[in-house]
Structure formats: structure tokens, C-alpha cells
Structure 1
Amino acid sequence: MAFLQKTVNSVPFLMADGFGEGVVHGFSTRQGGVSEGIYASLNLGMSRGDDPARVAENFGLFCAAVGAAPEGLVCAAQVHGNTVRTCTRADAGKGFNRPVDYEADGLVTDVPGLTLVVFSADCLPILLYDPVRAVVAAAHAGWRGTALAIAGRTVEKMMDCYGCDPGNIRAAIGPGISACCFETHEDVPEAMTAALGETALDYIKSVGNGKFKVDTKGINALLLEQAGVRTEHIAVSGDCTVCSGERFWSHRVTGGVRGSMAAIISLHSKEL
């Protein structure tokens, strides 16, 4: 599987080419919206200080471009953990036009029309789809969530709640900070090796002065494979949000003064 870039109604977004026709999905950029100033132009973060009306309009533009139902948006309070929530029709609108009452970094559903959302700005957005059981999922993987195996936990939730066979699951790891720019102190490598053992060392490179570069995209792909997802069913975006700060929101580039991107996925539905 590979990533493709599309532009619909002047809104650019990325998608994986192997998800098939039973699902709509997309990874936003920071381009194509109506926000102004430091949030220009497609800010989808609702807690960044932007005008809520502009954020809502941005979501409408992004959903229309992707083909998802904005009335079915389901968000979560992301906390860099590994909790995965099963979503029902009762969750529609949570975190978007009504309060969210749970913390989670993964969302899973088999309800057509529910549009699962995860936010990012250097962390990795991961979308998953089982075309056999008709189940979709979205996960937010910062380095802490990566070390807690949020990607694998999401696959496990799909298996436990919906009977998914991981061999059927398609996965897409979206734009995020890449190894070229993810320079850290030893706390991140220590967390990865504590979680994965010596296997993690293949994704960690010492650059001297007690600093390391870590390939969290590669580690998340490995976690998906360990959970049973086939290598050929995993797409990994080559886009680095730090290298391409003009296209993507990056927490590092902006020093935290920024908007947010969103990755969304939904099973096809004529109505919610």
C-alpha cells in the first residue's frame, strides 16, 4: 500500500490507496481552510485558541473533500496513552459539537456514518480498516503512546469486540515527525527498549552528546505487524511534519503555537 495526495474543492489531503471502496478516509494538511493568523489556514484543533466557528467551517470543508459525514464526527480527549474506546451512535458529535466524556487515544466502530477523528501535529495518526468485518479504527501515537503499543492495542480491540482477523486489516500511518527530525534524549529510547526489547534498537540511532534519533513510524509499523497485520497491508507516509512545516502543522516547528491536523475514517453510509 502507498499514500496518495488528492485535492477536492481546493482542500488537499492524503489517503492510502489500499483501503478499498467500503470506507472513506483522509489525513489533513494545514492548507485549504478559512482560519487566519497563526492558525492559517486549515486548523482542525478545537482547543488551540482559534475561532470555534472557523474550526467548524474547516471541518465542514475537510469532511466534504474526503466524503465523510460531519454530523457523525467522534473525537476523544487524547492523553498519550493506550486506551481504545468502542464507539456507538450515542457518541456522534462528542468532542465536536458537544462535550467529550472520556479519555482515549484510539477509537473503534462498526457503525456506518460515524466519522472517527484523531488529532496530530508531529505525533502519528493511524487509521485502520477491516473490509471483511466492516470495522474502522483511528489511533493517535505520540512517542509515549507508541511505547505503550497503542497501535497493537487498537488491533486487539478490533479483534476482541468485532471478531476481526488482523490478516484482513489495512493500516495507514500518516504524516508525522520522522527519524530525520525526531532527536531526543535517552528517555525516548529507554521507553522503546523497555516496551520492545532489543528489537527497538533497529529504530534508534545515537547521534552523540547523549542524544538519539528515533523512527517511531517504523516502530508503529512493527507493532502492527506483531499484532498480525500483514506487511503489505501497511502504508507509511514518508512526509515529515517538521521538514514540511509549510504543509503540515508541527509542534516543534511552531513551538506549540499552532493549529492541529486531523485524520478521519468512516464506513460508507447514506445516513447516520
Structure 2
Amino acid sequence: MKFTEKTVNGVTFGQGEDMGPGVVHGFSTRLGGVSQGIYASLNLGANRGDDRQAVEENYRRFCAAIGADVDKMVFSCQVHGDTVRVCTAADAGSGLARKPDYEADGLITDVPGLCLVVFSADCLPILLHDPVRRVVAAVHAGWRGTANGIVERACEKMRDLYGCRSEDIRAAIGPGISRCCFETGEDVPNAMTSALGFKALEFIDAHPGGKFRVDLKGINAFRLRRQGLTEDHIAVSPDCTVCLHDKYWSHRFTKGERGSQGAAIALEWGKR
């Protein structure tokens, strides 16, 4: 499955080319919003110091572009863990309208219309959809979440709670820091090899001075395949948020002075 890009009413966003029928989704960029200064222009980070009205307008524009209901969004307090939270109709509006009272780096639901949202600015946003059982999930995978296998936890919950079959699940891995720019010390590769053994070495390059470069996109795609997803049901964005810092926010490039991307997914009402 390919990763594609669209612009609707000036809002540019990425998508998995074939996430299956009955779903809307999108990975935001910096393009198409109303925020100013370091937050220009489509900042979806509601708690980073941007003008509140500008952020709300950015959400209206983004949701309209991808076809989601801005009043049915669900956020979480992301903590770089591996908790995947089941969301119900009662969670609608949790995030923008009221602060979430839970911590999770993954959200999952079978409720039509409920729009699951995760945030990133180098970490990986990953969206999942099973068009057969009609279940969606949104995952925030930094290097700690990647090492802990949060994307696998989401797949397991889709199977265990909703009866999904791995071969039916579609996945899109959005823009994030890529192997070219994710230079680390020993802690990151050690976490990956501790979790995956020698299989992790394929995604790690050693560099002089005790430095390493790690392919988080490759590791998460590997974890998805290990869960039984087929290659043609996995889309991976080629965009590196550090290299393309004019198009995306990069925490590493800006040293934390930034807005946030959002990745959102929702089941459409009454469609299969």
C-alpha cells in the first residue's frame, strides 16, 4: 500500500492509499492553518502556547478536509508508554473540549463517528483500520513506544476485544524522524535489541563516536508484519520530519519550540 498526499481547501495531509472502505483518516502537515509565528500555520498542539482560537480553527479546517467531525474527537495524555485505551461514545470531545483524565499512547474504538487523534513532532503516528470488523486505532510511537511494541499491543486488542483478523487490518505509518536523522547514543539500539534480539540489527547503523542511527519506521513495519499484517496492507510515509522541517514540526530541529502534527481516524456512519 502506498502513502499519498492530498490538499483540500488549502489543507495538506497524508493518507494510506487504501485503508479500506468506511473510514476517514489523515496525517496533518504544517500547511493550511491560521496560527502565527513558530506555530505557523496548521498547529494542532492545543497545549503548546499557541492562541486557543487559532488552534480550534486549525482543527475545524483539518477535520473538514479529511471528513471527520470536529466535535467527536478523542485525545489522550501521551506518555511514551504502551497503553492502548478503548474509547466509547462518552469520550467524544475529550481533548479539545475538555482535558483527558487518562494516559495512553494508543486509542481504539468501534464507535462510528468517534475521531481518534494522536500527536507527533518526530515520533511516529500510526493509524489502523479493520474494514471487516469495523474497528480503528491510533498509535503514538516514539522510540520507547516502538521498543515496547505499542503498535503490536494495538493489533492484539483489535483481535482480542473485537475479533479482528490480522490479515484484514490495514496500517499507515505517518511522517516522522527517519533513519537519516535519528542519531542516538547506545540507549535506543540497546532498547531495540533487548526487545527484538538480532532482528533489530537490520534497522540500526553504527557510526563513529559511539553513535547510531535507528529506523523507527522500519521497526514498526516489522512489528506489524510480525502481527500478521500483509505487506500490501502497510503504508509508510517516506517523509522525514527533520529533513522537511518547513513542512512538518520537528522537536529535534526546533529544540522544542514548535507546534504539533495530528493524525486522526474515524469510522464513517453506516458504511462498509
TM-score normalised by L of structure 2: 0.98
On the 8 A contact 2:207/2:213 being kept in 1, the answer is yes
| 1:156 and 2:177 correspond | no
Distance in 2, matches of 1:173 and 1:16, equals 8
In the other structure, the counterpart of 1:134 is 134
1:94 maps to 94
Tell me, in whole angstroms, the C-alpha distance in 2 between the residues paired with 1:218 and 1:3.
15
Is the Cα–Cα contact under 8 Å of residues 86 and 109 in structure 2 kept in the other structure? yes
Q: After superposition, what is the alpha-carbon deviation per residue over 1:173-227, rounded to whole angstroms, capped at 9, x for unaligned?
A: 0000000000000000000000001100000000110000000000000111111
Cross-structure match for 1:108: 108
- The amino acid that maps onto 1:19 is M
Distance 2:80 2:187 in 1: 15
- Aligned residue identity for 2:256: G
CA distance in 2, matches of 1:22, 1:136: 11
% of aligned pairs identical?
Answer: 64
Residue of structure 2 equivalent to 1:263: 263
Q: Could you tell me which residue of structure 2 aligns to residue 82 of structure 1?
A: 82
In the TM superposition, residue 228 of structure 1 has moved relative to its aligned partner by 1.4
Q: Which amino acid aligns with 2:179?
A: A
Query: Root-mean-square deviation (CA), in Å?
Result: 0.8
Name the aligned partner's letter for residue 104 of structure 2: A
Shift of 1:269: 2.3
Give the match's secondary structure for 1:209.
coil
Matches within 5 A, 1:235-250: 235-250=235-250
Partner of 2:178: 178
Q: Distance in 2 between matches of 1:221 and 1:13?
A: 21
Q: Distance in 2 between matches of 1:110 and 1:20?
A: 15
Determine the C-alpha separation between the residues in 1 that align with 2:12 and 2:99: 29
- Contact 2:45 2:119 (8 Å CA) reproduced: yes
Query: Is 2:259 the partner of 1:225?
Result: no
Scaled by the length of structure 1, the TM-score of the pair is: 0.98
Count of residue pairs the alignment pairs up: 270
Q: What are the ranges of 5 or more consecutive residues in structure 2 without an aligned counterpart? A: none
2:213 partner SS:
strand
TM-superposed deviation, 1:20: 2.5
CA displacement at 1:232 relative to structure 2: 1.5
- 1:32-51 matches, cutoff 5 A: 32-51=32-51
- Spell out, residue by residue over 1:93-143, the C-alpha distance to the aligned partner (whole angstroms, 9 max, x if none): 111111201100000000000000000000000000000000000000000
Residue pairs, 1:138-217, within 5 angstroms = 138-217=138-217
Letter aligned with residue 46 of structure 1: A
Cα deviation 1:232-261 (Å, max 9, x = unaligned): 110011000000001001001111000000
Aligned to 1:25: 25
Is the CA contact 2:20–2:129 (under 8 Å) kept in the aligned structure 1?
Answer: no
Residue of structure 1 equivalent to 2:60: 60
Matched residues in 2 for 1:96 and 1:164: separation?
30
Question: Aligned-pair distance for 1:77?
Answer: 0.3
Deviating runs (4+, > 6 A) in structure 1? none
Gaps of 5+ in 1: none
